[in-house]
Every structure is written in structure tokens, then in C-alpha cells.
Amino acid sequence: IEHTYEYEHFDEIEVKGKSVRDSQAPLIQIIDDDISMLILLKDLLEEQGWMVITNADPVKATNQYFEMQPDCLILDIQLPAKDGFQILQDIHLHNEKYFIPKIMISIQNDKPTRIKAFKMGADDFIGKPIDIDEFIVKMERHLQRKRIFDQSVLIDELTQVYNRRFLEDTLPRYFNDYKRSGQPFTISIIDIDHFKRVNDRYGHAVGDFVLAEFAQFIKSKIRSSDLICRYGGEEFVLIFPDTSNVQAKNKLTRLIKDFSAKEFTHEGQPFSVTFSAGAFTVENEQVTPKEALEEADTSLYEAKRTGRAKVES
Ligand code: GH3
Ligand code: MG
Ligand code: MG
Ligand code: MG
């Protein structure tokens, strides 16, 4: 029997991407063409307090996997158009560095199928009909391993600078150092100007390239005692220890000027990119890390509002 795509409403795409999701709950993606199975598993997993996205269409599912970066993937084998093994292969081809547990569920529960699944990168295999109690316990274990893995990652894959987790772990130390030494330090948030245009004009891959170049450019121009972290999409946080507000602003002004002079090319066409900066200098003991970042962010907004490619504090 030919499968038809009558499952549109099971492709939920309204859950926000990983970086902007508000909830701390793990996100699980289920790909299965059996709607009653999708309903059953979705309800079951949501009862545990987990977030669930479901896909009946395997082609859409692969795109959504990359977009959402779920914390766990549950994957049926027999699907229309593209089977579960092909999905595993597509994911693998994307040169995945980060660990996402992948669980295959199938009515096809013979030994060669199970061995094939594990060889292709599955982390678990559960035969249908699914034993609910065992399934939930296994899910808890997989999500726990995923959490431990995520906590160990401190470098952003694309830009190869520290990530937000590292910043959050490290920032309090600068405040303690200040309390001990009394030496002011400056926090800056920098953000690429009109980065959407770069993506729109030249494509996402060029956007990624610009982003990685940007991070490495800044890293190469700051002192080894300074810090750069990727804070979100095209936003980075810089920390300049023992640096006054005037010194930091001078430094940032020079970085803005030098980066804007850097020439990128796309299909022979040169283009340049600028960025804006907001800076906040910690020079009293009352201010908290959160407040300092908020102040820097307010100044960044001011720099954007008043023309971009500049620093405000
Ligand atoms: P503004 O000057 O006001 O900052 O304009 P903008 O277009 O840079 O600002 P906005 O924050 O609205 O858009 C940021 C864009 O950056 C949106 C998003 O698609 C893109 N972006 C975020 N992360 C990545 C990434 O990892 N790769 C690529 N290629 N684009 C990204
Ligand atoms: Mg199926
Ligand atoms: Mg921007
Ligand atoms: Mg931004």
C-alpha cells in the first residue's frame, strides 16, 4: 500500500529553536509514520515534563532535526520515502560532533536489523510493541547522559571560541577578582550589524563563514588575558580584565575599524561587515554579573540605534 502524506498536522514546527527556547525541559523528537504511536509516545513523554516534537514526514523531520537540535531522537525504521536508516545516515553525513541519543523503535525486531541499527549510530533499539515502563526508564537514562555531555562542552563548534555556558561559569570569578584587587574590568557585548542581510544575500553557509571569521579575528586582536565567548547567534561577550572604560572603548573602536576594513568575497564580489559594541565597566562592588551584562546590552542597543559600527557605554 502506498503511503500518503496526510499527516501535516503532526509536523509541529512552532517549538522555537534551541538557542531561543525558554524552557529548560529536554526536547525529544519522534519520527514515526504511525499516528497512533506518535500520539501515545507524545502523551507519555509529555507526562514526564519533557517537550516533544513529532514528525510523520521523514524529509521534513531531518530538516527539523538540524534546526531544533533535540536532546533525544526516537526514530521508526519503516517510513515512507526515506527509512530510519537513511535518516541516521543523513544525520551522520552532517558530520555531527555533538552527542544526541538516537533510539530506534521498530516492529522489525530481528537480530540483523538491530545490529544494523547500532552499526549506523543508534544508541538504543526498542522493539514494538513498546513496553512503557522500560521505555520511560531508558529515556531517563539517555537524557541524563545527554545532560552530562552538554555540561562538558565549553567550546562553540562553529566559531571555536568559548560558549555561553563557559561564560556563565567564569564570569563570577572576574567579580571576585575585582573585589580582591579593586582593579576595574570591562564587559562588552558585540553584535554583527545587519547580519540577516549577509544570510539573505549570500546564503547561510557564507553567514556561518563570516561568523567564524569574525570570532577568530577578534580573538587574534585581543590580549591572551582577555576573553571572547559566543553569547548567542551573532553576539559575543568580551571581557577585558584590568581595563578602564576609556581604555576598553578605545580598544573596541579600533577593533570595529579594523574589522570593517576586512574584505570578504562572494562569487568574486567583495563585501564588508561591521559590528557594534556596548561596554560596561565594573568599578563598584554592588553590581552583579547579570546587571553588568544588562548594562552592556543596553549600551549595545544604543550603539545600534544611533548608527551602528560604533561603541557605546
Ligand atoms: P542588527 O544590526 O540590528 O543586529 O541586525 P541583524 O540583522 O544582525 O540582527 P538580528 O538579531 O535581527 O538578526 C541576527 C541574524 O543572525 C538572525 C539569524 O538568522 C542570524 N544567525 C544567528 N545565528 C546564526 C548562525 O549560526 N549562522 C548564520 N548563518 N546566521 C545566524
Ligand atoms: Mg513505520
Ligand atoms: Mg546583529
Ligand atoms: Mg543579534
pLDDT tens column, 126-177: 999 999 999 999 999 999 999 999 889 999 989 999 999 999 999 999 999 9
Grid cell listed for 18: 534551541
- Nearest atom in ligand 1 to the alpha carbon of residue 197 is 7
Mean pLDDT computed over 278-298 = 97
Give the pLDDT confidence of 190-242 residue by residue, as tens digits.
999 999 999 999 998 899 999 999 999 999 999 999 999 999 999 999 999 99
- Give SS3 for 272: coil
Grid cell listed for 78: 519503516
What ipTM describes this predicted complex?
A: 0.96
Q: Which amino acid is at 91?
A: I
Distances (CA, A) of 101 to 82, 143, 171: 20, 8, 31
pLDDT exceeds cutoff 60 at 18: no
What span, in angstroms and rounded, lies between the C-alpha atoms of 3 and 313? 60
Q: Which of 67, 198, 234, 304 is the best mutation target for the ligand 1 pocket, counting ligand atoms within 8 Å of the beta carbon and taking the most?
A: 234
Mean pLDDT computed over 78-103 = 86
Cβ–ligand 1 distance for 122 under 6 Å, the answer: no
Reported confidence tier of residue 13, pLDDT bands at 50, 70, 90: very low
Which residues are catalytic, by number?
A: 234
Exposed (0-12), middle (13-18) or buried (19+): which is 106, by Cβ within 10 Å?
Answer: buried
What average pLDDT does the structure give for the chain? 91
What span, in angstroms and rounded, lies between the C-alpha atoms of 215 and 126? 43
Q: Which ligand is nearest to the CA of 56?
A: 2
DSSP-derived secondary structure letter, 184:
-
Half-sphere exposure of 255 (CA within 13 A, CB side): 26
**Would you state the pLDDT for residue 95?**
61
**Would you state the pLDDT for residue 20?**
47
